[in-house]
Amino acid sequence: MTLQIRNGRFDVLVLAGPGIQRWPGLGVRALSTLCSDMGLSVGLFGGEGLRVRGVLPSSGTGGVAIVEDSQGRIHRVESRAIVRVCEQTEFPDPFPGWTEPALLPLSSALRLRREGQTVWSPSTAILGAGNRALSFGCELLEAGVAEVFCIEWGAAPRGWEVYRRRFEMLGGRLIEAMPMGLKKKAPLLWEFRVKDAIGVRVLEVAWVVSAGPFASSDGMREHPPGSCLFELEQSGGMTLEEDPQGWTLEEERGRLLGVRIIKALGTPLGASADRSVTKANREQLEESQRRARSRLKRALRFLDAPLDWTHEGKWSSVDARNRLRSFAGVPKKEHLVREVASIECIEEIECSICETACPEKAISISRSQGVFLNESACTGCGKCISACPAQVPVLIQEKEALPVAQITMGLPPWSEFKEKELVSVSNRKGAPLGSAKVLQSSREEGWIKLEVPSHLAWEARGIRRTRFQVEDEWVLKAEKTAASKVEVQLQGEKRMLRMGQSLALALFETGFARGDDRLLCRDGSCRRCEIRVDGVKKLACRTQVHRGMSIQLLDRSPIEDSDLICPCSQVRSHEVIQKIREGKLNSPDSIRQACGVGEGSCRGRACIGAYQRLLQAEGIECSSWIDWRFPWADWTLSV
Ligand code: SF4
Ligand code: SF4
Ligand code: FES
């Protein structure tokens, strides 16, 4: 057999780094569209069909990428500029027990939640309190998990007030604390110690989900400077509605990086024979840059003055109340006559989903000018409620001379309410306020209309659920899945697993997962989930459950060492610190090579973030460092 290597050449290459799940993302599309509009040839390599195996930087600018296609053929692609697209780091700094399988990165937790039937009760802790962490917390609470904690510490950027509000309204708890230790207590139950201002508290959790962000980052870097080798962070969720903040950041960073590359490569921008084309291109480029910069600035503006909805007891404070009633998104008179929307989204965040969803164009988001809700145009259709990812808008009608008011709010997916039923309502922090009567509810449209005592009209914004609803649903779900289970031998014991399910997911559901399994990659590239099936070595993520199979786990017990920064290669933080303090090495690459951090099978996905933060703490500048090692995954060439 001959090994055929094909050659290719582009001006700009955009490559999916290890573990990228959404390809091509919004940032990649913004960058590539801009570059090709300016006449540069752009190659995108990633996804199932074209897996990038590594990059060899050139001595000048750009480099050569090695790409493998679905038939195993190797392609060698040269380019003057290379962009590697990476995921945000999701693992925290080491603490005792951080290598235990109960600590999952958010991407794995999302997969377990959507594809598996993992039990998240009695409680789940989420590390990080950015929008993605909060919205995963809301998802769990809506699915019936009784207790969810979002734990924030250090200088991590905070999520939007509307997400925090929704999380707390659903019963989630925000804690400012440091993780201190994670220890197994019983099957699928862990003891998680955290330290807050009062002292150490012990949480009994099923999982600890690590969502971050654990450090602020501007989302794109070039390393080394002037090399035209860039890294772009993919920060958005799967859809705009899922994560509007990450979506905006990713798109505008992609555009800004596109401008930077076009300027760095210089042609054909300045080389067109037709001067008017050159001028038009320049203007388009300047415009793109200006727009991207200002949107990025706006997207991060909420960090300068984060909004905190203050309460006096269970009532909004006078300040908060006045601020709300004078806000331009809140109706001033029309709600005294009929039902109209109240868009209670005061923080300066970069989101306009409700504006797009409103069929009457009653919402216009221009926060600086204060024009927000045109109450006479609002028909009270409720489309803005279901469109908003944080379910902020409500419809409100105060009935003058009557002791009751009417509010329509987002309906949690678990709810099944009957007309005239009495429900308990809560304030914006989730504290119970009293009862309300259900007038109407629509599961399809996602809203519920309530009659509340008029003094609660501007306070009641959430519905509390009862424990019975949680248990009923859990029982129904368990009954439904029992039918699809088949018997297998797992470590010599009889087990019932779901037929056709990925073994990697099944190991988590049955409590047999190991620390190595946590990355839950889909393509087997990290090779960390090796197991033995019917005596043959296989990857759990690439193997499906079938009746009668015999599964043996390869022994990979976690090493009890809180200093372990790179579990794959068993490198400890103090070894890295020692190398730095010896003073002979001062670049992130040389220190990494000398210590062996990131050399293991996950190629640094679990440890490089913590490694960078450790270097920063030791005074080594590495905010623009990119790990350009070759290859990005273990691979062999068979000829
Ligand atoms: S209720 Fe309907 S018309 Fe009124 S703001 Fe919302 S989407 Fe627009
Ligand atoms: S959809 Fe509207 S109300 Fe909801 S977060 Fe975005 S701007 Fe705020
Ligand atoms: S933890 Fe996998 S390489 Fe460091």
Ligand 3 close to Cβ of residue 567 (< 6 A)? yes
Average pLDDT, integer, range 95-106: 93
Q: Which whole number is the average pLDDT over 416-421? A: 86
Cross-strand partners of 186: 189
User: Is 3.50.50 the CATH classification of the domain at 5-88+219-302?
Assistant: yes
User: Could you tell me which CATH number the domain at 325-466 has?
Assistant: 2.40.30
**132 burial class (0-12, 13-18, 19+ CB within 10 angstroms)?**
buried
Residue of 303, 304, 299 whose CA lies nearest to 253: 299
- Average of per-residue pLDDT across 246-266: 93
The pLDDT, as a whole number, for residue 613 is 92
Residue 151 has pLDDT above 80, yes or no: yes
Q: With left for phi above 0 and alpha for psi between -120 and 50, is residue 547 left, alpha or beta?
A: beta
pLDDT band at 217 (very low <50, low <70, confident <90, very high): confident
Per-residue pLDDT, 471: 46
What is the best residue among 301, 354, 361, 363 to mutate for testing ligand 2's pocket, by most ligand atoms within 8 Å of CB?
354
> What are the residue ranges spanned by the domains of the chain?
5-88+219-302, 103-210, 325-466, 484-553, 564-617
Percent of the chain beyond pLDDT 90? 57
Whether the pLDDT of residue 279 is over 50: the answer is yes
Lookup: tokens for 157: 């950027």
Q: Would you say residue 469 has pLDDT above 60?
A: no
Per-residue pLDDT at 509 exceeds 70: yes
Q: Is the pLDDT of residue 475 over 60?
A: no
* Interval 265-278 mean pLDDT: 62
pLDDT at 470: 47
Question: What is the residue-averaged pLDDT of the chain?
Answer: 87
DSSP string, 103-152: EEEHHHHHHHHHHS-----SEEEEE--SHHHHHHHHHHHHTT-SEEEEEE
**Model pLDDT, residue 433:** 93
- When pLDDT is cut at 50, 70 and 90, the band that residue 63 belongs to is very high
Write the CA distances from 16 to 46, 86, 242, 278, integer angstroms: 5, 7, 22, 31
Q: What is the pLDDT of residue 1?
A: 38
Task: Name the pLDDT band for 258 (thresholds 50, 70, 90).
Answer: very high
Q: Which ligand is nearest to the CA of 338?
A: 1
Is the pLDDT score of 451 beyond 50? Answer: yes
What is the widest separation between alpha-carbon atoms in the chain?
A: 88
Radius of gyration over every alpha carbon of the chain, rounded to an integer in angstroms: 27
pLDDT of residue 235: 86
| Closest-CA residue to 46 (of 5, 77, 3) | 77
Q: What pLDDT score was predicted for residue 481?
A: 57
Q: Which atom of ligand 3 is nearest to the CA of 528?
A: 2
Query: pTM surpassing 0.85?
Result: yes
Q: Does 283 have pLDDT greater than 70?
A: yes
Q: Which of 566, 572, 576, 593 to mutate to test the pocket of ligand 3 (most atoms within 8 A of CB)?
A: 566
214 close to 95: Cβ distance less than 8 angstroms:
no
Which tens digit of pLDDT belongs to each residue from 361-409? 999 987 666 558 999 999 999 999 999 999 999 999 998 778 999 999 9
Express as a percent the part of the chain with pLDDT over 70. 91
The whole-angstrom separation of Cα 606 and Cα 231 is: 18
Report the DSSP pairing between strands 5-16 and 42-45.
parallel
Residue 217 Cα to ligand 2 midpoint, Å, equals 25
Which residues contact ligand 2 via a Cβ below 6 A? 162, 343, 345, 351-354, 388, 390, 392-393
Closest Cα to atom 2 of ligand 1: 381
482 against 447, higher pLDDT = 447
At 467, the pLDDT band (50, 70, 90 cuts) reads: very low
From 527, 607, 632, give the residue whose CB has the most ligand 3 atoms within 8 Å, as the site to mutate.
607
pLDDT surpassing 80 at residue 115: yes
Q: What is the mean pLDDT of residues 566-574?
A: 91
- Answer whether 5-88+219-302 and 325-466 agree in fold: no
Q: Which of 333, 338, 457, 448 is nearest to 404 (CA)?
A: 457
The CATH class of 484-553 is alpha beta
Tell me what pLDDT residue 636 has.
Answer: 56
The predicted structure's pLDDT at residue 90: 80
The domain 103-210 having CATH identifier 3.50.50.60: the answer here is yes
| Cβ within 8 Å of residue 440, ≥6 positions away | 419, 448, 449
